[in-house]
Amino acid sequence: MTAFFFSRVLPLSLTGAAVSALILAVSFLTRRQFGSRWRYYIWLVALALFFLPVTLPFPAGALSGVSEAISPAAAVVRFAAGPPTAAAETAAASAPLSWRELAALAWTCGAVALLLQRAWAALRFHRALRRTSRPVADRETLALFAACKEELRVRRAVRLERCPLAGTPMLVGLLRPRVLLPDAPADPDALRFILLHELTHLKSGDLFYKLAGLAACVVHWFNPFAWLALHRINALCEPACDERLARPMDADERRGYGRAILGAMGTVRAAPPLSTPFSLHKEDVKRRLTLMMNCKKSTRVLLAAAVCSAVLLGFVGMSISTFLIAPAEAASPPESSRLLAPSPERLAKELAGGVVFDFESGELRIAIPDELPDGWAWSIHPAGRAAMGDGAMSVHWFEAESAANDWRPGGTYTAPIGGELLSYDVEFALLDGAGRERAAGNLSWNAGEAASAPAVIGGADGPTSIIVAPRLTPPLAGLTVAAPFDKGPGHKGVDYRAEPGEAVFAAADGTVSEAGWDGAYGYRVVLDHGDGFQTLYAHCKELAVATGDAVAAGQRIASAGSTGNAAGPCLHFEVRLNGEPVEPPAFSFEEAEGSAPQPGAGTPNLVKDESSSTLIED
């Protein structure tokens, strides 16, 4: 929800606010040129941009550097983040809510509360109408109503009812529309104008227009421009309908229409929920009569100017949307970076603990962990050597499953060991959806190295070395090496070229262990990813996280700069395992489709030997 609010709702709200301000200014400047209908329907542009992330196809790189200024939380959507470590899961569960999470929570609560309040008000209003309204039985009134429908070519089923609660004629009902008439009688000429007016609202879909404005206020309740848009739509709804009806009328018909508005003037100052009251208070009537009597037929030049103005406002709005929403989309955390996903190392350890050679029962048992991310698979190859006369022979178990990588999560596989076992070697790997190794391991035993023949070999205490191959999210949107690892004395990282202020992203899920100034590093962030694995980001211009924050892979944590001992704008990136710097390319970066090869590809993975906690190369 936090990512959705900051990457989608907030940019849309800013876009809608900017366009609403422009529409308000243009409407004021053209109030003598454009009629009420143009000023009414132009708010559709603002409503569309409050909801739709419409962007223009700007050239690649045109938006460079914008995302840092716009989006308060960022990640790289082009690269898939690897599964988190157990430490990241614990840190995320125990960390207090950040201000971004609190803001998103406040937005959610406000939107839900407003939605419930408006829905309850509308429900009460329509229940009261159902209790008090009754169908019109007068044949002359029904005949006039049918004639008005035919004149306007209204084909929808519309009921005509009288309601004592209706202080003025009005249209209600989105799906089952009803025209409500007050109990006070009206002369036939005035009634005709009233019915034509309300049926025009129905034909124009004004109730749905008002519903869209109300929905914008529910989603963007914190934005005063959303409420301004709804206010202008409600205020211009009746004058726009008057203009549509009065434009083809002559002077006498307009005067008759005006008398109908005056005769139906009510005492209600605000319209009930989702309705189109024919006539409200005196100030409203006076303004409507002035606009109606002065409306003129549109010339081709004026019509072309109105269309061009609307298109121009739409283009400006989409341009604003592009610069606000496109960077935020590129900065939203990917779905694959959820903190609840199991870590590859944990799954590998679980599998290793489930491999048991039981010599008492003569069985080999392999228990597959229950959890497995969608599309992932296990590659397991158990083999060994067994005594055969004076020699030995190779033994392979579960050959069909090994060939097809067909190991069911949660399943337990058994097979007879067969003969006197001299040694075994079980190789396994956890493969992601693209067939890449996320973690791998090897379990081996040799009878010649054992002091005595055990009854059971394997299980949780069996000999295991887990090879962890984490896939890191690139710390920058594009990686170009400026200074390689170990270039000079003490340079235990890789410098990547960066633009000043360019977003720096967390390479994996974890917790901020250090954030601040550190001499030659300048402003730097150190992330702890658990199991002795850390990453460092130095020479930053400014930091977006603080010590103790839980971060997700791909989340924006800083802006690139040249602080400390840096020759120019760059990102100094270090990977540390058990406190020792290691070359970052040893930890494979995720590759996006069509992306350039990452620097240092092909270097060996690091092997973490669980028995000694030392590092060796595979």
What's the pLDDT score for residue 449?
55
Measured between its terminal Cα atoms, the distance across the chain in Å is 42
- Which has the higher per-residue pLDDT, 120 or 86? 120
Inter-residue contact 509 to 526 (CB < 8 Å): no
What's the pLDDT score for residue 143?
92
Percent of the chain with pLDDT over 70: 75
Inter-residue contact 47 to 518 (CB < 8 Å): no
What's the pLDDT score for residue 384?
86
**Cα gap 446→314, rounded to integer Å:** 75
Does the pLDDT at position 328 exceed 90? no
Inter-residue contact 180 to 198 (CB < 8 Å): no
Give the Å distances, CA to CA, from 201 to 66, 205, 242, 504, 569.
43, 6, 10, 53, 60
Inter-residue contact 258 to 292 (CB < 8 Å): yes
Q: What is the mean pLDDT of residues 299-306?
A: 66
pLDDT single digits (tens) 229-242: 999 998 888 888 98
pLDDT single digits (tens) 458-514: 454 444 445 454 567 889 988 888 888 877 777 888 899 999 999 999 988 899 999
User: What are residue 360's phi and psi, to 5 degrees?
Assistant: -65, -45
Does the pLDDT at position 91 exceed 60? no
Joined together, the tokens standing for residue 529 give 């990813």
**Cα gap 522→524, rounded to integer Å:** 6
Angle in degrees, 0-180, between the axes of helices 139-152 and 188-204, rounded to the nearest 10: 40
What's the pLDDT score for residue 611?
31
Neighbours of 141 (CB within 10 A): 18
How would residue 606 be classed by pLDDT, with cut points 50, 70 and 90? Answer: very low
- Which has the higher per-residue pLDDT, 579 or 455? 579
**Cα gap 526→538, rounded to integer Å:** 9
Tell me which long-range contacts 175-182 makes (C-beta under 8 A, separation of at least 24).
177/202, 177/207, 178/129, 178/133, 179/145, 180/129, 180/133, 181/136, 182/264, 182/266
Joined together, the tokens standing for residue 143 give 């005949």
CATH topology of domain 481-605: Glucose Permease (Domain IIA) (2.70.70)
Does the pLDDT at position 199 exceed 90? yes
How would residue 69 be classed by pLDDT, with cut points 50, 70 and 90? Answer: very low
What's the whole-model pTM score? 0.51
Q: Which contiguous run of DSSP H or E holds residue 396?
A: strand 391-396
Give the single-character DSSP code of 370: S
How would residue 55 be classed by pLDDT, with cut points 50, 70 and 90? Answer: low
pLDDT single digits (tens) 126-163: 888 888 899 998 899 999 999 999 999 999 899 999 98
Amino acid sitting at position 243: E
pLDDT single digits (tens) 360-397: 788 888 999 888 888 889 999 988 888 877 777 888 88
Does the pLDDT at position 519 exceed 90? no
Contacts of 52 (CB under 8 A, 6+ apart): 12
Angle in degrees, 0-180, between the axes of helices 43-51 and 224-246, rounded to the nearest 10: 140
Name the strands in the sheet holding 170-172, side by side, starting at the edge strand that comes first in the sequence: 134-135, 159-162, 178-181, 170-172
Angle in degrees, 0-180, between the axes of helices 43-51 and 300-330, rounded to the nearest 10: 20
Angle in degrees, 0-180, between the axes of helices 206-219 and 188-204, rounded to the nearest 10: 50
Does the pLDDT at position 275 exceed 60? yes
- Angle subtended at Cα 477 by Cα 472 and Cα 481, rounded to the nearest 5 degrees: 80
| Residue 362 zone, left/alpha/beta (φ > 0; ψ -120 to 50; rest) | left
What's the pLDDT score for residue 582?
74
What's the pLDDT score for residue 266?
60
How would residue 584 be classed by pLDDT, with cut points 50, 70 and 90? Answer: low
Tell me: domain 344-468, CATH 2.60.40, correct?
A: yes
**Cα gap 322→63, rounded to integer Å:** 9
Domain ranges of the chain: 344-468, 481-605
Biggest CA pair distance of the chain:
121
Inter-residue contact 101 to 4 (CB < 8 Å): no
Which has the closest alpha carbon to 466: 507, 429, 431?
A: 429
